[in-house]
Structure 1
Amino acid sequence: MAPKKVPVEEPVEPEEPELVEGDETELETGLKLPLTPNDVGRVWSLDCAAQSKLLTELLGLEAAHPPVARREIICDFHLFNLSHSKMQCLTQRQGAVFHAIMAAILDKMAGWADGASQGASASECFNEFQRLLLIHSVNDPPSRLPIFGVQEARRLTDYTSGTLFKHFLLYQFCARSERDVETLRFSVEVERPILPPALANARQKPSRRPQQTPENQDDGTGISTEEKTAGGAGEDPSEEIQRIVEEKLRMTEARLEAKLAQREQQFMERIAKKG
């Protein structure tokens, strides 16, 4: 009698844990969230420098964008959008959805989503932004979800219009083009300085300052004895100034009288000619 076969138990696959709201990576509308709501909360709890480092790790920007300049621009783009979401008092889930919408627009603008040789135009990107925002602002599940209210959607539209779409070409250029680096090298010849003269041949030069004598010696008042003597022999400085002023006035008065006489003579000559 043949031995009975021992039944082989099939391995039971472990059930995947059900995602809660803070851990969801995709919505019912099909929008994929690069950052979960919990990730957004972690970013909001850090300072600016730590936020950039965490975003780079969560989004895998080092592998996706090896050039440092482009990686920093893209990181700042996402960081500014998340900061604005926090400033508008949005929830972590709303911040994650808004970040996903802006990330999708960035991919479409740069042509990374479909590998296009050139990115989409500003009108195409704005229409896509409107479509995604409208889908997540209407209560009609599962194709539409009420993630944002009417006022919140309006404020997000105003923000995007004044930032991304106002400088669309600049953002597109930074996302698609590499930064040009130009290195200039110069060869400069520096002449060797002349050797100083030997100190053994140094001679003391005579002083150019006048020697102090009893006649020009200063007594500490800033006026030498010779100047005091000359000043004392003359007249009072105030009288001298008054005399100069009076002389100038007389000269000015004489010039004015001469001009008046000349103009009066010219006037009489014109009258005589007309008569």
Structure 2
Amino acid sequence: MTFLSDSRARGGMLILALAFIGGTGCVAIDAVNKNRYERQKRDAEADRQRRIAEQTPAAAAGDPAARTALAYALVSASDRRQDDAPRALALLEQAAAQDYGMAQAMLGEILTGSAVFLHVPRRFPPDPRALTRGIALLQRAATKACSYRPGPGIYHVEPAQRAAQMLGVAGLPDESLLWRARGIVHCGGANAGYLASQAESKYIKPVERTETLALLTLTGNAKAIAEARAALPADTVAAAERLAADLRRQVAASERDYPAPPRKELP
């Protein structure tokens, strides 16, 4: 009995010791991770302040690219309390008025309530007047580039796709479909595999199935198109082909007011 009791005691002490070591190990790892995170935050803030200092003189001189880059730096701090949204918005308004595409794209996203990665006040759903103006800015930006990335980080804008989304929010489904088509024809802005799975889904409405298959047709992805068509009724396939042809004509007609963007995108 004494031997068993001693064994149990030693076992219990060993478990407690291991638990203690494990616990202190976790604390040490947490401390290292916290220190690394804080260092990364400090480095990111130092880089942001450097970009602010670099862009301020050119922005003050009226350069739209510098105004836009400065605006992005002013609303991309890791600590939102360090942001300056009013100044950033004023700079974007100035650059957008100079017909600078990146500023139009960013301001359009802000006005439509879509700029989730920018630390600016936003409403969703947005005010109808702000929504209308934001869509117009996105459409103008879409004539200059397919995609905009104003600075370091993951934030970017694909204006044709965003305009299509916001036109749907505004209750303009036909215009929304046209701008989805523009995004595909001009920029390849669609995932063919996703469109194919949507077209074949049993949960989609018939009209949406036809539209999705038409958009898939515009991608030119032969494999995905063939597989989707093989899985769908012949009348749906025929209707989608007609709609795709009509969308191509609509896209071409829309280029009178909204020219296709150059293939080389802005930095």
TM-score range, shorter chain: under 0.3
Name the one with the larger helix percent: 2
Q: TM-score scaled to structure 2, two decimals?
A: 0.26
Rg (Cα) greater in structure: 1
